[in-house]
Structure formats: C-alpha cells, structure tokens
Amino acid sequence: MNPLRIFAATAIAVSLYVAPPFVTGPAEADTISDAALKVRPIDDVFTNGPPRIEDLTSLDGILRFVSSVPLACSMVYGETAAFGQVTVDQDMNGGAHTDHHPAITGLKPDTTYFYRVQGTAVDGTLYVSKVQTFHTPKRDANAALNLASLDAGARVTAVSSNFGGGANDASWGANSAIDGSRATEWSTNGDGDKGFIEIEFAKSSDVGAIEVWTRSMSNNTAQIFEFTVTADSGQTAGPFKLPDAAKPHRFEVDLQAKRLRLDVVASNGGNVGLVEFAAYPR
C-alpha cells in the first residue's frame, strides 16, 4: 500500500477512537475546598523545641526535630526563597514517624540558605514552618586528612554484607561508610553483631584517632553500641562504646595500619552499618 494511504488510514482510526471519561484528572484538584485542606503551623506538633539545623559544615548539615504526631517530613531549601532543593528522612522504614533528621546536602561554603520544614500527618494535615535562613561556615583549610576516605584513596577490601546483596558502590553499599557524606549509609543485610567492614588506606599509616558514626532505624534496630578495630599488623583497639547514632564519635587509638577492620561487638541487631567511618594520622 502507498505509505501516504497507510498514514491516512491510521489518522482516521485514531480520530475515531473516543477516550473514556476521566474518573480522576487534573481538573479534580481544583475542586478541593479550603476547608478540606488543613494547613497548620509546625509549632503545633514539635515536642522538643522548634526544628533546628545541626552539625552544619561548609558542605552539609542535619535538620532535627521531634514531633508529637507521626509525620512524613521534608525540608525545602535553596539560595533564594524559591528554594530548589528538597530533602526527606532517609529512614529505611519509610512512612510517617516522630524522630526527624533529614540530611541537608549539596551546600556551598559561606552561603546563606532559605528553608522551610513541611510535614504531612496521616490525617492529611500539612504542618509547615515559616521560611527561615541559615548560613554555612567557610571551608576549613586546616581540616585533618581522613585516611579512610574514598577521596584519600582508601577502599573497602572486605565487608560482612551489603543490604540486599548489593555491590559496595550501590545504594546502602559499604562505600557509603567512607564517602564523606552523611546522607549515605552502609547497611548490612541483617548481620547484627556479626557485622564488619575492612578498609585499606592508600598507604601504611600511624593512626592516632578514629571517628565512627553508626546508623540506626526508627524500629530500634541497626544501631551499633560497641565495636573493636583491628589493624592488619594484628593490633586491636577497643572495645569502644557508641553512646548514640546522632553524630560521629571520636576515639583515640595508636595503630600502625595499612588496613583497619571494624567488628561489631554489640548492637540491637538487624541491618547494622555506618553513616561514616574516619581515621586520622597521629
């Protein structure tokens, strides 16, 4: 058949097709009444003081607050009041919860940011804060070299497991423990007290301190309470106790190491892992 005829036949067939009436569609959104949409100040639901920006560095920070009702929480932020970035809680459990700590990433040093906190409750009420600002500090030129970072040439040489059997560079993979980002976490696949990770430095080093930041989940699993570190020389340090999962904790050590292995000694089980691991030269 002539190609033009095929085209014409197709066009007629398409024009004869009658779309079924929409059950839902964009026009429906206009029918939501103001009375049905409940927007309340977030002041109604915070229990431990207003939402606050914590652990602010020149590159990232954390928003923290506790709400009296479970919320799916987000924060919009940007260099103007038009925002442009959004962060949500990275809790593996998902859904609405009360202990909020979304990571604020992708920041520039010495810059003012506008932000607004927004939480949705299961009854549909949207709780919002006023637009506020924060200012990031200047970059710290004297920051100590973290031997265990991917940036410094370190790599993961062994790991008990990654969540879902993923690769080290996948989401929840072991590289997330040494990528310098608080927004990413290494999670084991339910290893509990059997969890471990081994990191090789770019060169053999005299390690004077380590920093360990355990992950946790809102269902009271995945948190490391106690661990040891063992160097490839055979020296072991610890066990050390981690008081919480809110931030990295620093421990003085004296280890000659090309590779360091962290072993979980005590946890509340499940998908234990790390937000970050760091090692600093003596």
* Residue closer to Ca ion, measured from CB, 129 or 160: 160
How near is the Cβ of 27 to Ca ion at its closest, in Å?
44
**CA pair distance 232, 87, nearest whole angstrom:** 39
DSSP bridge pairs for 62:
54, 103
Give the three-class secondary structure for 64.
strand
With contact defined as beta carbons under 8 Å apart, do 94 and 220 qualify? no
Stretch that binds Ca ion, among 39-47, 108-116, 177-185, 198-206 (CB under 5 A): 177-185
Q: To the nearest 10°, the Cα dihedral for 75, 170, 213, 259?
A: -160
Task: Tell me which H or E stretch contains 210.
Answer: strand 196-214
How near is the Cβ of 183 to Ca ion at its closest, in Å?
7
* Residue closer to Ca ion, measured from CB, 71 or 103: 103
- Answer whether the bond into residue 239 is a cis peptide, omega within 30°: yes
With contact defined as beta carbons under 8 Å apart, do 147 and 66 qualify? no
Q: How many Å is the Cα radius of gyration of the chain? A: 25
How near is the Cβ of 182 to Ca ion at its closest, in Å?
6
With contact defined as beta carbons under 8 Å apart, do 234 and 186 qualify? no
Stretch that binds Ca ion, among 28-36, 174-182, 225-233, 237-245 (CB under 5 A): 174-182
Return the sign of the alpha-carbon dihedral for residues 64, 245, 170, 55: positive
How near is the Cβ of 133 to Ca ion at its closest, in Å?
26
* Residue closer to Ca ion, measured from CB, 174 or 255: 174
* Residue closer to Ca ion, measured from CB, 98 or 105: 105
Residue closest to Ca ion when measured from CB atoms: 184
Stretch that binds Ca ion, among 91-99, 156-164, 173-181, 201-209 (CB under 5 A): 173-181
Residues in 130-149 that interact with Ca ion by CB under 5 A:
none
* Residue closer to Ca ion, measured from CB, 200 or 276: 276
* Residue closer to Ca ion, measured from CB, 176 or 188: 176
How near is the Cβ of 264 to Ca ion at its closest, in Å?
17
How near is the Cβ of 72 to Ca ion at its closest, in Å?
23
DSSP bridge pairs for 76:
86, 116
If binding is defined by CB under 5 A, does position 181 make contact with Ca ion? yes
Q: Which two tokens stand for residue 110?
A: 């010495």
């790599």: which residue's tokens?
A: 155
If binding is defined by CB under 5 A, does position 176 make contact with Ca ion? yes
Residues in 240-279 that interact with Ca ion by CB under 5 A:
276
* Residue closer to Ca ion, measured from CB, 42 or 148: 148
Binder to Ca ion among 129, 149, 184, 221 (CB under 5 A)?
A: 184
**CA pair distance 184, 182, nearest whole angstrom:** 6
- Interface with Ca ion by CB under 5 A: which residues? 176, 179, 181, 184, 276
